[in-house]
Amino acid sequence: MRITIDDISIECEEGELLIDVMLNNNINIPHFCYHQDLGADGNCRMCMVEIKGAKRPQIACDTFVKENLEVITKSENINEVKRSILELELLNHPVDCPICDQAGECKLQDYYMDYGLYESHLTTPKTKKGKAIELGSNVMLDQERCVLCTRCTRFTSEITKTGELGIIGRGDSARVGVAPGHELNNPYAMNVVELCPVGALTSKDFRFKQRVWFLDTSKSICHGCSRGCNISIDYNETKYTREKIHRFRARRNARINQSFLCDYGRLSYKELNNSFKGTSSSIEDLKELLKEDKKLALASPSLSLEQLQAIQTLCQTHNIKLFCLAYYDESFGDGWLKTNDKSANLASVKKLGICTCQEEFDAALQEAELILNFDHTLLKHQEFGNKKSVQFTSTHLPPACGYCFGFANFAHDTGTLINCEGITQKFYATRFRDKNPSLSELLEQLR
């Protein structure tokens, strides 16, 4: 089926929402309340378009496409409609962009530049509402910046079904809030910050730390569990500071995580800033060590497919027994995004045929004289007595842990993960290089 949007013919399916067709085809359609993973609510009235044959402008989020539908998104008339709605959205807004963390990624700003560009007509005092309200779970609320799109309340009522957030009051005193004595408290709470199209909900963790236009972004995959949620890593390197990661944001993937991310995964970026800072031991020493007789290697199940392959090759060359034990936590999974299997890449481990048997590992550990640990948490801080040990690590370790080699963590590396549903996904390194080499490069030198 075909429809026409601004004289461009577009292929779509009967019964699709017009706004979805536009978003999927990268046609600019301003909107606040509509969200592809929350559905339509129809309250913001920003996505108005002209439809041939309709008397009045219609909202694209409540228009279903039908054969030969003719849509106009750019005309003097419809731009005036959008301008008038935007003026009302912005009417009581404090316009405090210089101190607002959303600045730079704020829909009000974007649309003002696209359709607004007017002087304020307001001749009466602005409506005052609550500022800097702590909702709980790292979420801060500024009611004056809110456009009442209800994305956040719909998220807590329809997605997490925890229902902490609601609209209180009516008319122009309507505002988002929590019930007295309650707080926003669920393992996915920080999603509302990202869902908020304006600066009303901000993250306490990110507030006042960076301006978003100073941030670079890389496409990555969360390594917190086996779900493989798609994320964007926001990072930068300044004149005075080395590269630092400032936040994870959910990257939309309709098959895996839609537009969401759990708070555990979202805050796991902090570990990445804690990369190995000590001095690496010498490769020559390691080559000597590899001449030992009984050798064992344990690889983290969160390493990428490429890293695991490199380790496997090394082990085969030097006759090392290779194991990989899953990170398993019965209390972690929740039937939605979080899985009990906290290893990011166990499916790849199984695909490569690496032994995951705990008993065999325990027996081999008893016998082994040299232990190579590839970033597995089990052996990271363990004392091995008279056994020799080599640590390959992407995180910082306490000094005096024997032989130690730092390698780049996943933010600084490119690789492949297979998630719990068998979906293969790639993640990409940030722009700035870590001072630690990638694990594959490191192992290359041992050949």
Partner 1 sequence: MITKIVSKNFEILNSHTMAVALENGRYASLENLFLQKPREIIDTISQSGLRGKGGGGAHAGSKWQLAADTQGTKYLVVNADESEPGTFKDRQILSKDPHLLIEGIICTCYAIGSHISYIYVRGEYEEFSDILQSAIDEAYEKNIIGSGAQYPLDITVHRGGGAYICGEKSALLESLEGNRGHPRLKPHTPQAESYFGEPALVNNVETIASVPFIVENGAEAYRAYGTEKSPGTLLFALSGHVEKPGVYEAEFGLGMWEYIHTLGGGVKNGKMLKAVIPGGASTPILPAHLVQEAKLDYESLKSLGTELGTGGMILLDEDASMVKALKNLLRFYHHESCGQCTPCREGTSWVDKTLDKFIAKTATTEDLKILKSVSKSMNGKTICVFAPAASGVINGFLKHFENEFLECIQ
Minimum CB distance to partner 1, residue 3 (Å): 16
How far apart, in whole angstroms, are the C-alpha atoms of residue 195 and residue 39?
Answer: 12
Q: Which of 56/255 has CB closer to partner 1?
A: 56
Write the DSSP string, 181-213. T----STTTTHHHHH-SSTTEEETTTTTT--GG
What's the CA angle centered on 446, arms 441 and 447, to 5 degrees?
100
Q: Are 268 and 248 in contact, with CB atoms under 8 Å apart?
A: yes
Q: Please tell me whether residue 121 binds partner 1 under the rule CB under 8 A.
A: yes
DSSP class of residue 64 equals B
Minimum CB distance to partner 1, residue 2 (Å): 20
Structural tokens at position 232: 């964007």
3-class SS of residue 443: helix
Binding footprint of partner 1, residue count (CB under 8 A): 35
Query: What b-and-e string marks burial along 335-361, b requiring 16 or more CB atoms within 10 Å of the CB?
Result: eebbbbbbbbbbbbbeeeebebeeeeb
Binding segment for partner 1 (CB under 8 A), chosen from 97-105, 109-117, 165-173, 240-248, is 165-173
Binding segment for partner 1 (CB under 8 A), chosen from 97-105, 169-177, 178-186, 267-275, is 169-177
Strands 216-221 and 201-203, sheet pairing: unpaired
Structural tokens at position 167: 């609209």
Give the per-residue contact string, 185-214, with partner 1 (x = CB under 8 A; - = no): ------------------------------
For residue 389, count CB atoms less than 10 angstroms from its CB and return exposed for 0-12, middle for 13-18, buried for 19 or more: buried
Q: Which of 45/338 has CB closer to partner 1?
A: 45
For residue 245, count CB atoms less than 10 angstroms from its CB and return exposed for 0-12, middle for 13-18, buried for 19 or more: buried
Minimum CB distance to partner 1, residue 127 (Å): 7
Minimum CB distance to partner 1, residue 393 (Å): 53
Q: From the list 15, 98, 171, 181, which residue makes contact with partner 1 (rule: CB under 8 A)?
A: 171
Q: Please tell me whether residue 164 binds partner 1 under the rule CB under 8 A.
A: no
Write the DSSP string, 121-134. ---SPPPP---SEE
Minimum CB distance to partner 1, residue 376 (Å): 51
Nearest to 411 by CA among 292, 268, 285: 268
Give the per-residue contact string, 55-94, with partner 1 (x = CB under 8 A; - = no): -xx----x-x----------------x--xx-xxx-xx--
Nearest to 391 by CA among 276, 270, 274, 271: 276
Q: From the list 4, 36, 43, 416, which residue makes contact with partner 1 (rule: CB under 8 A)?
A: 43
Minimum CB distance to partner 1, residue 18 (Å): 12
Minimum CB distance to partner 1, residue 258 (Å): 22
Q: From the list 9, 26, 124, 331, which residue makes contact with partner 1 (rule: CB under 8 A)?
A: 124
Q: From the list 147, 221, 222, 256, which residue makes contact with partner 1 (rule: CB under 8 A)?
A: 147
Q: Please tell me whether residue 130 binds partner 1 under the rule CB under 8 A.
A: no
Q: Please tell me whether residue 447 binds partner 1 under the rule CB under 8 A.
A: no
Q: Which residues bind partner 1 (CB under 8 A)?
A: 40, 42-46, 48, 56-57, 62, 64, 81, 84-85, 87-89, 91-92, 121-125, 127, 147-148, 166-167, 169-174
